[in-house]
Amino acid sequence: MAFELPALPYAQDALAPTISAETMEYHYGKHHQTYVDNLNKAVAGTADENASLEDIIMKAEGPLFNNAAQVWNHTFFWNSLSPNGGGQPTGAIADRIAADFGGYDAFRAQITDAGLTQFGSGWAWLVEKDGKLAIMKTPNADLPMKHGAKALFTIDVWEHAYYIDYRNARAKFIEVVLDNLVNWDFVNANLAS
């Protein structure tokens, strides 16, 4: 069973102008596709050839882990975004953010700080762990499931996620994602699962 690049949940230019079609062409069409291709090469003819992506992630190390986790992370990231998203949370997640962070502004400050202080490449995550919402940051391909946490939302802070549109202004990228693209319906669905 070969892994495939999952279809985007929207048109490749749908996140513009926040994330340009050119960024999507490279980030989704080249970076994400390369992780899928490398994963398929790594598992071909091995015991992992028919394993689920999550099973591979949980037991793998090194290049196999990196490619499997980056396939998962990027798929999760695309679903974390919506062309009609952003702004204040809605639904059950709004209540949980109020209860666990003291409000949206505190959540926003913490996830922004996680994204800005992740040295080098990585991710800023909203997670649920031990029944509470929390913010995590992970380097490179690392992800919450390896740490006993359930991912609810993420922002990719690798430079390739924003460099075409924002150059080195990671803070601006995080701000515009939060203002314009957070898919609160996806976050609520993850919270309920």
Burial 96-113 (b: 16+ CB within 10 A, else e): bbeeebeeeeebbebbbe
Q: What pLDDT does residue 53 have? A: 98
Average pLDDT, the chain: 97
pTM, whole model, 2 decimals?
A: 0.98
| CATH 3.55.40.20 placement within the chain | 92-192
133 bridge partner residues: 128
Cα separation values, 135 from 1, 21, 47, 57, 66, Å = 34, 29, 35, 21, 22
Q: Convert 5-41 to b/e letters by CB count within 10 Å (16 or more is b).
A: beebebebebbeebbbeebbeebbeeebeebbebbbe
- Residue 131, SS3? coil
**Does the structural domain 21-80 have CATH classification 1.10.287.990?**
yes
Beta bridge partners of 136: 125
Domain with CATH 1.10.287.990 in the chain: 21-80
92-192 has which CATH code?
A: 3.55.40.20
Residue 124 bridge partners (DSSP): 137, 155
How sure is the predictor about 128, in pLDDT bands with cuts at 50, 70 and 90?
Answer: very high
| pLDDT, position 1 | 72
Q: What is the pLDDT of residue 138?
A: 98
Q: Taking the CA of residue 62 as centre, how many other CA atoms within 13 Å lie in the half-sphere pointing to its CB?
A: 1
For 133-174, the pLDDT digits (tens) are 999 999 999 999 999 999 999 999 999 999 999 999 999 999
83-99 pLDDT per residue, tens: 999 999 999 999 999 99
Q: Residue 122: beta bridge partners? A: 139
Q: Percentage of the chain with pLDDT > 90?
A: 99
What is d(CA 184, CA 92) in angstroms, rounded to the nearest whole number? 10
The residue ranges of DSSP E strands in the chain, in sequence order, are: 122-129, 132-139, 150-156
- Per-residue pLDDT band for 52 (boundaries 50, 70, 90) equals very high
- Residue 119's Cβ-count burial label (10 Å; 0-12, 13-18, 19+) is exposed
What pLDDT, in 10s, does the model give residues 55-86?
999 999 999 999 999 999 999 999 999 999 99
